[in-house]
Amino acid sequence: MTDEMLSVRSVRERLRTIERAALGLSAYSTLVRDPNKLEKVFALRDHVADEATLRAMLEHFRKDARGRDALAARPRIGRVNLDTLATLPADTLGGAFARNMRAYNLDPGALPVRESRDELSFLDAHLYETHDVWHTVTGFGVDVAGELGLQAFYAAQFPAKLSYAIMSAGLLNTMLVAMHDADRRMDAIAEGWAIGRRAKPFFGVRWADWWSRPLREVREELDVVPAGTSRAQVAVG
């Protein structure tokens, strides 16, 4: 490869870096103005979660037996059918999940199924498709406070740069336009961090095999004190 070709390649790589940074900043500023713009979370993720960050997450998950098994087997949750899950008792994981999704007018079955070609793509796909299940198990709602609480839970469970970016955008939004909701949002962040620190790792759980299990039993196995429970406020050492 000639020096001229190397120079052109270098310029193109720098332009792509600048473009990614601009898109990331645009997505971030939109989230600051309106944290409910969930489509911007995915744009921000593409900027924050570079390959180095994802590999650091992989190394973290490999420290746990369930994480190692998941990276090897790459279990998928599959396309979720809320009609089927809604036939399960309300106190089961699947039954509670279906009722939560319907209460919030959400349909996880409408989400695209991401490919899982290798460990990195599985990591991305697994976290993407299990996000709403984590909401159900931790007890956090899907409003801004609930999402900030879950992002704090993520941050306590693994090195999640995206979660810190989302939380910072949420806090800026609070300062600028939503001080009336500040106490609730800060309580959710504190609670999410405490719950995440005391809970066993969620990454790699085969949720599709647990749909019919009682939600209480799932939480006990994962050592989860759900949001809104006073014991979750206890400081974690």
Residue 219, both tokens: 């939480």
Please give the DSSP secondary-structure letter assigned to residue 9.
Answer: H
Residues sharing a CB contact under 8 Å with residue 207, sequence separation 6 or more, in sequence order: 77, 93, 130, 133
Closest CA to 151 of 136, 163, 139: 163
Domain-by-domain residue ranges, the chain?
Answer: 49-233
Whole-prediction pTM: 0.85
Structure confidence at residue 18 (pLDDT): 37
Contact assessment for residue 160 and residue 57, using Cβ atoms and an 8 Å cutoff:
yes
> What crossing angle do the helices spanning 93-103 and 119-138 adopt, rounded to 10°?
80
Question: How far is it, in rounded angstroms, from Cα 14 to Cα 17?
Answer: 5
Q: What is the pLDDT of residue 29?
A: 74
pLDDT means per 10 residues, the chain with 237 residues, are 51 45 59 73 68 91 96 93 97 98 89 88 93 97 96 96 92 95 98 98 97 98 91 48
